[in-house]
Structure 1
Amino acid sequence: MNEQHRNLVLMRHAKSAYPDGVADHDRPLAPRGIREARLAGEWLRANVPAVDSVLCSTATRTRETLARTGIDARVRYAERLYGATPGAVIEEINRAPDDVTTLLVIGHEPTTSALALILAAADSAESTVAQRISEKFPTSAIAVLRVSGRWADLQPGGAAFVDFHVPREA
């Protein structure tokens, strides 16, 4: 059987606001976050194969980030991604259908950067991408990884870095 490569796109939510009296889970995007989520969507459309499916935290800022990217794909919201460990996110990724070739996961820090580094562990020793991610995974940042085989089989060390991008206005 010819092994299919899949694309795993890990994105941290865009910059959020901190309105008084609003619970952390319910914080909306800040004006800068709205602009940067749009830029992230433009970058994804220009640089990554079409997103087939999205796995998104239920937090307001992650849902608004997805909406502002303009990515049009089937979405599964997982409350578990809010405050998740990297292992829990991997378990959610393992549930992605086999027909998905590009999966976008929108979540939070510090989980997103830790997840990227854990998944590409074998690839990370001399990787400039790994170095950048370990230094900082800013809001709206996007890590693109290549996965060989099925989503159900993805485990730590089972991916390789392709790109890391932080969308910002020039």
Structure 2
Amino acid sequence: MSDPRRTLVLLRHAKSDYPDGVADHDRPLASRGEREATLAGDWLRSGSGLESAVEAVLCSSATRTQQTLARTNVEAPTHVTERLYGAAPGAVIAEINAAATTFGFEPQTLLVVGHEPTMSQLALGLSEPEESNITAFEHISTKYPTSAMAVLRFGAPWSALELGSAALTTFYVPR
């Protein structure tokens, strides 16, 4: 029997640039964002805070999220979707709930690359306060900076993920 524990990593895109005449969806990373995304990838691939390597990725279709993911050098099946751009937490949960169908397997560790304020709302909403790291919870309540990652643990298939059902274990800001 496989281990039912799941790890969800919520990565906010790295610092973006604001070029004149470029639509929000198409904004690229700034130089600082490129560095931070690389550091985020170093942390993800090092195994710090994760029980297993990232096995699948859900990524917003925005240019800055895709560039963030590319800079992490995480190699895993990836589903890029417009639904994560400007999404409410419920839409992200629906994408996570469908992970086994989307990828054709039940990933143990799932990375979601998205935007604020959705990442902080999602991390706090999914967290069961009594099971969570209070320091991480307080940091996210204050600020969820670019390139920051919340790590949550969940003890059932992704299809059962709902508000208040996960333990927030780590909040990491690569700098």
Which contiguous aligned blocks of 4+ residues in structure 1 show a shift greater than 4 angstroms? none
**RMSD value over aligned CA atoms?**
1.5
Go from structure 1 to structure 2 and tell me whether the alpha carbon gap of 1:74 and 1:154 turns closer, same or farther (over 3 Å shift).
Answer: same
Identity of aligned residues (%): 60
The structural deviation recorded for 1:123 is: 3.6
The structural deviation recorded for 1:78 is: 1.3
**Amino acid across the alignment from 2:64:** R
Q: How many residues align?
A: 168
The structural deviation recorded for 1:121 is: 3.6
**Amino acid across the alignment from 1:85:** A
Contact 1:117 1:124 in 2 (8 A): no
Q: Note the 1:2-151 alignment, pairs <5 A.
A: 4-46=4-46, 47=48, 48=50, 49-97=52-100, 98-123=105-130, 127-151=134-158
Contact 2:116 2:144 in 1 (8 A): yes
The structural deviation recorded for 1:124 is: 7.0
- What does the per-residue CA deviation read over 1:99-155, in whole Å, with 9 as the maximum and x for residues that have no partner? 200000000000000000000044478711110001000000000000110000100
Gaps of 5+ in 2: none
**Which residue of the partner structure matches residue 154 of structure 1?**
161
Contact 1:123 1:157 in 2 (8 A): no
Go from structure 1 to structure 2 and tell me whether the alpha carbon gap of 1:156 and 1:162 turns closer, same or farther (over 3 Å shift).
Answer: same
Cα distance in 2 for partners of 1:77, 1:39 equals: 22
**Amino acid across the alignment from 2:157:** R
Cα distance in 2 for partners of 1:126, 1:12 equals: 19
